[in-house]
Amino acid sequence: MRATVLHAPRDIRLDDVDDPQLQLGTDAIVRVVAACVCGSDLWPYRGLNPVNEPTRIGHEFVGVVEQVGDAVSSLTPGDFVISPFTFSDNTCALCVRGVHTSCTNGGFWGHPDKQGHATDGGQGELVRVPWADGTLVATPSQPSQEMVTQLLTLSDVFPTGHHAAVSAGVTAGSTVVVVGDGAVGLSAVLASKRLGAARVVAMSRHESRQQIARRFGADEVVAERGKEGAAAVREMLDGIGADFVLECVGTGDSMKQAMLSARPGGRIGYVGVPHDVQLNVPQMFGRNIGLAGGIAPVRGYIEELLPDVLDGSITPGDVFDLTVPLDQVADGYRAMDERTAIKTMLSL
């Protein structure tokens, strides 16, 4: 089969690799229908995370079950499935508490499972899925092509934005500021409105991203960044700042902007993978600013979010502004790297 391999920074290729085989009775093999590129894929792509050897990549995909192991009970070949960006058994003490990203038996696409068998990256034709019953969520019927685009966001980007909002504790009637206008930040705008936020401020300098933010329900847009941006936010929100701030970037600067945008007693939900983020604890303490979030336990959210996607009441797939066939994956990465695309979908 063909699968995406990162050979070195900015050297990404579609290579011929071995087809995956069932290794355990709890496995399934999924034929990928659509995948996408994540902002976090850009860290190794840009060489900001080290790339020491050719590495399979990608962790967001939907597809059709091709084969199941004999211990798989809830899936049958032909089912259309959504895969979260981590695999998990959905039964361990941490999964039942909703922290599937810390599953005792879980792991990450492209890395070996706990039994030591390699797993596939999500940007390829086939993926061996460990703990298939626990990992995959099947849709009630076969989706249309347009619906595939929407469902693909449930693999990572939309539930990650949702996790920022849930971690912060966004409530109906509250004020929310979203730092970051990437696909996750835009998803966080949509998630906040879905949870009933009264007033959502998107911080964005880019016209095309501002438009999607507005379509997702942003009530206001602030183009300034840093201290100036936070000052504009505070002035807009009773002079005190927001009840909740969703940090969807992961840099030291974006976290500082988030801290300055929160009102005393406010909460920050953060889902930007932290790179060199230092927290000023005495300042947080004095202003009672809380911080929660982390790697999004997507598996636990899919069933909650799926009905709203299926009935069309939300269209999180609007974050995709570029679709390329799998064999043009390099173009897809380049466009995101150069920020000419917000998020790239790979069709198969």
> Contact residues for a copy of itself (CB under 8 A)?
93-94, 97-99, 101-102, 167, 238-240, 243, 263-265, 267, 270, 273-274, 277-279, 281-282, 284-295, 297
Provide the residue count of the chain. Answer: 348
Least Å distance between CB 158 and a copy of itself?
Answer: 18
The nearer residue to a copy of itself, 59 or 128, going by C-beta atoms, is 59
Please give the Cα distance from 123 to 55 (Å, whole number): 12
Among 225, 165, 167, 210, CA closest to 190: 165
The nearer residue to a copy of itself, 58 or 241, going by C-beta atoms, is 241
The nearer residue to a copy of itself, 145 or 278, going by C-beta atoms, is 278
Contact by Cβ (8 Å): 129, 66 = no
Virtual CA dihedral for 304, 296, 98, 104, nearest 10 degrees? Answer: 140
The nearer residue to a copy of itself, 52 or 278, going by C-beta atoms, is 278
Please give the Cα distance from 45 to 239 (Å, whole number): 41
The nearer residue to a copy of itself, 180 or 332, going by C-beta atoms, is 180
The nearer residue to a copy of itself, 77 or 264, going by C-beta atoms, is 264
The nearer residue to a copy of itself, 83 or 101, going by C-beta atoms, is 101
Could you give the C-alpha distances from 25 to 82, 116, 135, 138, 299, in angstroms and in order? 20, 15, 14, 19, 21
Least Å distance between CB 242 and a copy of itself?
Answer: 11
Least Å distance between CB 91 and a copy of itself?
Answer: 14
Could you give the C-alpha distances from 35 to 81, 231, 235, 334, 344, in angstroms and in order? 12, 39, 41, 16, 9
Least Å distance between CB 290 and a copy of itself?
Answer: 3
Least Å distance between CB 206 and a copy of itself?
Answer: 26
Contact by Cβ (8 Å): 318, 215 = yes
Among 256, 207, 209, CA closest to 228: 256
Contact by Cβ (8 Å): 129, 29 = yes
Which stretches within 262-346 are classed as H helix?
Answer: 281-287, 299-310, 329-337
Least Å distance between CB 21 and a copy of itself?
Answer: 30
Please give the Cα distance from 80 to 66 (Å, whole number): 10
Least Å distance between CB 332 and a copy of itself?
Answer: 26
Tokens linked to 197: 């936020």
What's the burial of 129, exposed, middle or buried (CB within 10 Å: 0-12/13-18/19+)? buried
The nearer residue to a copy of itself, 292 or 310, going by C-beta atoms, is 292
Among 118, 25, 120, 36, CA closest to 75: 25
Four-residue CA torsion sign, 208, 148, 293, 190 = positive
The nearer residue to a copy of itself, 160 or 344, going by C-beta atoms, is 160
The nearer residue to a copy of itself, 9 or 290, going by C-beta atoms, is 290
